[in-house]
Amino acid sequence: MKEPTPVKLSSCKSYQKILKCTVYLDIHSITCPGALLTRSEDIYLSVCVMGQYRKTHCMPAIFPLLFNHKMVFTFPGVVDPADVSEQLECKWAPLVLKHLPY
């Protein structure tokens, strides 16, 4: 009986480098000429980027709103940063001004 030929394992393995992409969003101010906010409660800005939510500190509801706030959105496990860039170009990132409830 003939012995089976041993299988030769390749020493060349392909690895995909996994990256962490970070998006920095600097919000300085929001203006809206001619607009009046009807309630006097504090207001904040809520931002959603690719399913991740961040919000600013609360401030008086008087235009211009001077936030001077930095937001950081991190996307771990990224193989190709171009994919994140493409998603950011194609999807909406809603920025919503919200009043605090009474």
Mean pLDDT calculated for residue range 13-37: 81
What would the mean pLDDT of 19-43 be, rounded to a whole number?
A: 85
Among the listed ranges 18-22, 48-52, 98-102, which one has the minimum average pLDDT value? 98-102
pTM of structure: 0.69
- Check residue 82 and give its pLDDT: 85
Task: Give the CA angle between residues 48, 68, 29 to the nearest 5°.
Answer: 80
Share of the chain above pLDDT 90, in %: 26
Bond prior to 101 in cis (omega within 30° of 0): no
In degrees, rounded to 5, the angle at the alpha carbon of residue 63 between the alpha carbons of residues 69 and 45 is 40
